[in-house]
Chains A and B, each alone.
Chain A
Amino acid sequence: MNKEKEVQIDWIRLSEIIEENSDEQWSLIPMVQKIQKEFGYIPPQAIPIIAAKLKIFPSQVQGVISFYAQLYTEPRGRNTVRVCRGTACHVRGGKTILKLVKQHLGVDEGETTEDMEYTLETVACIGVCALAPNLVIGNQVYGNLNPKKLGRLLKKDGG
């Protein structure tokens, strides 16, 4: 896990979001999505507050958040780097690409860089196997990767 990152949470804004979204019938998921949109993640301290508002148990809120891959309880980088670990990319050296990305960013899978710029993830296939090996930064796909290109890419992108 990442070491504790200091992230300032605007608690007033947080309770506003909770308040605004608590009247819907199935309000938990839209509520946590909005919190994540605002803060980039769902602060774990928010879980008991959400639970008390919706009159469900904190463990249930945590259960729902932990179920969905789209919901995070840790701060995320401004960009998500998704390295493809699909079959075609694997054959074309995807494993090495992942290793190099890890080296470049200095983080492991699921972790975020110190400067909060990148969060590293892997993905099973992004559907452009012709360009293998691939990775995605934010919404942009980068194909035909090699170590040199990767170095330039992460450098250019501020890494």
Chain B
Amino acid sequence: MQPVTLTINRQEVSGHSGMTILELARESGIDIPTICHHSKLSPIGACRFCIVENEQNGALLASCVTPIAPGMIINTESPRVLEHRKMILKLMLASHPDSCLVCDKGNQCQLRRLAADLGIGLIELDRIPQPAVTEEVNPFISRDMSKCILCARCIRACQELVIEGALDYLGRGFKAKPATLNNSPLELSECTFCGTCVALCPTGALMEKEGPYGGTIGKTIVTTCPYCGCGCSISLEIKDNRVARVKPVIDEHTDLKALCVKGSYGCDFIHSPERLAKPLIKESNKFKEVSWDEALAAVAGAFNKIKEEYGADSLAVLGSANCTNEDNYLLQRFTRDVLGTNNIDNGSSLYYSATRQAFNDAVGSPGITHCLEDLEKAEVILLIGANPEASAPQVNYRIKRAVKLHGAKLLLIDPRKTKLSFFTEHWLRPKVGTDLALLNGLAKVIIEENLIDQEFVARKTEKYHQLAGFLAGYPLEKAESLTGVDAEQMRRAARLYASAGKAAIIFGTGITQQAQGVENVKALINLALLTGNIWRKGGGIRALQRECNAQGACDMGALPEYLPGYQRVEDPQGRKKYEERWDVSLPSSSGADALKILQGAIEGKIKGLYITGENPLISFPRSSLVKEALNSLDFLVVQDLFLTETAKLASVVLPAASFAEKDGTVTNMEGKVQMIRKAVEPVGESMPDWEIILHLAQAMGQPLPYSSLQQVMDELRELVPLYRNGREGKSLEEEDLWETRADYRLPLNKFPGFSVLEYISPAEALDDSFPFILLAETPLFHFGTGSRSSKSRNLSKFSPSFKVRINEVDAQKMGLRPGDQVRVVSPVGQLLAAAEITDELPRGIVSLPRSIPGHPITGLFSSMPEVSTKTFAPKTCYVRIERG
């Protein structure tokens, strides 16, 4: 490309064509002050503050939107430029209140800083009357339009970064302001309270509601969000050993990862008064606060006694997908080395084991990693069984950005209408639970119309002919009648997917938490293999994961059949490395998974259980059975931040430190290993999980040889090749982001290949007494079992009410009106809820939100494990609706 040469401030500089004057000036070390411009947003030249003078013709140009041209003679600080800049700022101040002294934006206000830079004090201009402050009842964001300078950063953030489109200009001239549709308050608009606009607002017009006039922030710590598997970097603003605010990380070199409402406003659970501050021991059904020594001695004594009396396999451990890699690494060593059993599992097996098994069988890799940024390069995105708006907001933003900004086509397979339906090219609405029949139909069209990637299929895959043979005998009409999706629609969808060069598949628990979860995932892998879309940049296939460290907990071997790095426990070769390093002999048979642990407890085989950071009483189906299991134990230890429903059943409760109070690493759903950094001191006597585990090992008389977290990190880096990747010699203290990607790709010449998958109609067929299918939906404002999100003051203030959603026609037939109390009855349980009437669900389907505090819904689901994967099916069940 021809370089373009011009003069800026008497200095000859050159850039490439298409660059703006501002970009070239900044690159050349010349600063031009800006207000509306932001490096993460498209330039619009709204504020004109960045004007520069072209000395050839005296033109004043907004440098953020003016492309460079050869021979320009630009002056960024001529007297005219300075005079105009001052006037622009004075005009802004003339319509801005003089409330700097009490404005919480304080010294972070860009307007105030620029006024100071230009030496502007009191202004001589007449005041321009200002609109009244907008009152909002939501607990997250307050808008004060009198401080708005119309830079449109909020509008661009909403339309370009999170693609919500809640805001745009309303009116023109003096009346213009950023507003929602019908100028309604944010809580009645499309706003999801992601907080991106607040983070980018240059003045105090958009502010966090919580803690006004908090004063100046002491320090900021960059760490990783503790909620979902997206693993967004967050910046904690600390004042007086408290996390005052959470902001997205705005860094010059990476694109801005917008947060969601949980990340931006839901981290205040750290300072909840309900946090456990001291260890508790249950004595005659009451908890008593005790010292750590007492608690550890009690646990160690009980575990040693059980081990002696009933053997090591009568003990079991439940690790946590919410704890760090180091916590889980130590926990599995503790389980295998100190306790001497492989009975360890983690909460992600509830939904992830189907995926892991399908990938092992069909791709030959235990995990899948495609970076999230790549998603924006996809030409077609097939989204199935997931509503990432609630379960993985970062993925949701990426999908919408791909569609809206980069022209990707979205192929949505979901019976429900979600916000993403607005962005689709094709939207297939199969009957609930018939995904496999539909996916087989798509594969059939791809083969029949010869849309396969011939070379890839021939060279890289096996068993193609079995699949082709099977599908040849699978008429599309059969798929049509099973799924209720029109054959022509299937054809168009299949053509769209197969004709794209880079087609990505994203799936969630909607297809894994089914009786045929493994088969569903394999059917998706079939599609990807047929079109060569495996490991392809921008293409590929990805599973959404719920917790921040679901991937890491599995990588670290908090699983009954795997040591860290997916070394099978039965494999002597796999054990050897660890046995040599730890100088022990490890148990050699696969342990019990979460389900078997609970069954074992009921049967009396498991006597002692150690749960860290999980709340199975709420997260597992059939809470009554889980309760029975936990009550049958001789000894239950729960380690958590709060006295959860599960912790209340424990013999001993150990107080753990939160993510903001400890160091470590977590691995997100794309395999990126990121730092969790200590920002504040732990509450009370609570301790990081890894320290508790070390103390416990010591108390049991088998101390583990680590004196610092760094040693644990070094060891896991050395023993787990997945985590070695470019990280040698980096230490915890090093300030650079410890951000690398674990690579799960195996150097395979061939993929194990296609699977022939027969759709089986569910055994418990639709029966007249239970005519509805209930879907469990993930709400945006809560997370997991709600044990943390319900302790967030902000989130719980805004908690949407617990409602059962029902199709309008069904509701009409039953004579239901919005808000009517109804009883949702399943074969194993029932509960009360208010009815919400909607056109978003097809007929015959009702939905309930999970994770709403005080309203567990798992009691409705029968614990029907899918035999081959042990996957529970707590996503759907049959119910009837009765008037309450």
Q: Which listed residue (B171, B181, B423) contacts A59, Cβ 8 A?
A: B181
Q: Which listed residue (A44, A55, A63) contacts B168, Cβ 8 A?
A: A63
Q: Which listed residue (A52, A55, A56, A58) contacts B181, Cβ 8 A?
A: A58
Q: Which listed residue (B168, B170, B179, B182) contacts A57, Cβ 8 A?
A: B168
Are B171 and A66 within 8 A (Cβ)? Answer: yes
State the CA gap A55–B165 with chains docked (Å).
11
CB contacts (< 8 Å) of B159 on chain A: these are 57, 60
**In the complex, A11 has a CB within 8 A of chain B:** no
**In the complex, B582 has a CB within 8 A of chain A:** no
CB distance from B396 to the nearest CB of A (A): 15
Chain A interface residue number, banded = 10 to 19
CB distance from A65 to the nearest CB of B (A): 9
Interface residues of chain A: helix, strand, loop or mixed (majority) = helix
CB distance from A126 to the nearest CB of B (A): 21
Q: Which of A7-42 contact B (CB under 8 A)?
A: none
CB contacts (< 8 Å) of A55 on chain B: these are 422-423
Are A59 and B165 within 8 A (Cβ)? Answer: yes
Are B165 and A57 within 8 A (Cβ)? Answer: yes
Q: Which of B176-200 contact A (CB under 8 A)?
A: 179-182, 190
State the CA gap A37–B182 with chains docked (Å).
22
Are B422 and A59 within 8 A (Cβ)? Answer: no
**In the complex, B213 has a CB within 8 A of chain A:** no
Q: Which of A75-97 contact B (CB under 8 A)?
A: none
CB distance from B186 to the nearest CB of A (A): 12
Are A67 and B165 within 8 A (Cβ)? Answer: no
CB contacts (< 8 Å) of B165 on chain A: these are 56-60
User: Total number of A-B contacts with CB less than 8 angstroms?
Assistant: 41
**In the complex, B709 has a CB within 8 A of chain A:** no
Are A60 and B168 within 8 A (Cβ)? Answer: yes
State the CA gap A56–B181 with chains docked (Å).
13
Are B168 and A62 within 8 A (Cβ)? Answer: yes
Are A52 and B169 within 8 A (Cβ)? Answer: no
State the CA gap A59–B167 with chains docked (Å).
6
Q: Which listed residue (A48, A56, A60, A67) contacts B171, Cβ 8 A?
A: A67
Are A62 and B172 within 8 A (Cβ)? Answer: no
State the CA gap A62–B165 with chains docked (Å).
11
Interface centre among B166, B169, B422 (most CB of A within 10 A): B169
CB contacts (< 8 Å) of B422 on chain A: these are 52, 55
**In the complex, A145 has a CB within 8 A of chain B:** no
Are A63 and B182 within 8 A (Cβ)? Answer: no
Q: Which listed residue (B170, B190, B423) contacts A63, Cβ 8 A?
A: B170
- Interface residues on chain B, number (Cβ under 8 Å): 16
Contact with B along A122-140 (1 / 0, CB 8 A): 0000000000000000000
State the CA gap A57–B167 with chains docked (Å).
9
State the CA gap A105–B546 with chains docked (Å).
63
**In the complex, A101 has a CB within 8 A of chain B:** no
Are B181 and A67 within 8 A (Cβ)? Answer: no
CB contacts (< 8 Å) of B179 on chain A: these are 59, 62
Are B172 and A47 within 8 A (Cβ)? Answer: no
The residue of chain B having its C-beta at the shortest distance from the C-beta of A48 within the complex is: B181
Are B172 and A66 within 8 A (Cβ)? Answer: yes
State the CA gap A50–B193 with chains docked (Å).
25
Q: Which of B591-618 contact A (CB under 8 A)?
A: none
CB contacts (< 8 Å) of B168 on chain A: these are 57, 59-60, 62-63
CB contacts (< 8 Å) of A56 on chain B: these are 165
State the CA gap A19–B407 with chains docked (Å).
22
CB contacts (< 8 Å) of B181 on chain A: these are 47-48, 58-59, 62
State the CA gap A67–B166 with chains docked (Å).
17
State the CA gap A44–B181 with chains docked (Å).
10
Are B182 and A67 within 8 A (Cβ)? Answer: no
State the CA gap A121–B159 with chains docked (Å).
34
State the CA gap A47–B180 with chains docked (Å).
13
State the CA gap A67–B177 with chains docked (Å).
11
State the CA gap A44–B183 with chains docked (Å).
12
CB contacts (< 8 Å) of A52 on chain B: these are 422
CB contacts (< 8 Å) of B423 on chain A: these are 55
The residue of chain A having its C-beta at the shortest distance from the C-beta of B164 within the complex is: A57
CB distance from A125 to the nearest CB of B (A): 18
State the CA gap A63–B178 with chains docked (Å).
9
Are B180 and A67 within 8 A (Cβ)? Answer: no
Contact with A along B142-171 (1 / 0, CB 8 A): 000000000000000001000001111111
Contact with B along A104-115 (1 / 0, CB 8 A): 000000000000
State the CA gap A66–B167 with chains docked (Å).
13
Are B182 and A66 within 8 A (Cβ)? Answer: no
State the CA gap A54–B180 with chains docked (Å).
18
State the CA gap A55–B179 with chains docked (Å).
19
State the CA gap A28–B422 with chains docked (Å).
18
The residue of chain A having its C-beta at the shortest distance from the C-beta of B423 within the complex is: A55
Contact with A along B630-670 (1 / 0, CB 8 A): 00000000000000000000000000000000000000000
CB distance from B588 to the nearest CB of A (A): 59
The residue of chain B having its C-beta at the shortest distance from the C-beta of A44 within the complex is: B182
Are B172 and A59 within 8 A (Cβ)? Answer: no
The residue of chain A having its C-beta at the shortest distance from the C-beta of B166 within the complex is: A59
CB distance from A74 to the nearest CB of B (A): 12
Q: Which of B552-596 contact A (CB under 8 A)?
A: none
State the CA gap A63–B156 with chains docked (Å).
13
Interface centre among A56, A57, A58, A60 (most CB of B within 10 A): A57
CB distance from A36 to the nearest CB of B (A): 17
The residue of chain B having its C-beta at the shortest distance from the C-beta of A59 within the complex is: B168
State the CA gap A63–B181 with chains docked (Å).
9
Q: Which of B241-294 contact A (CB under 8 A)?
A: none
CB distance from A51 to the nearest CB of B (A): 8
The residue of chain A having its C-beta at the shortest distance from the C-beta of B421 within the complex is: A52
The residue of chain B having its C-beta at the shortest distance from the C-beta of A58 within the complex is: B181
State the CA gap A62–B423 with chains docked (Å).
19
Residues of A within 8 A of B (CB): 44, 47-48, 52, 55-60, 62-63, 66-67
Q: List 10 A-B contacts (CB under 8 A).
A: A48-B181, A56-B165, A57-B166, A57-B190, A58-B181, A59-B180, A59-B181, A59-B190, A66-B170, A67-B169
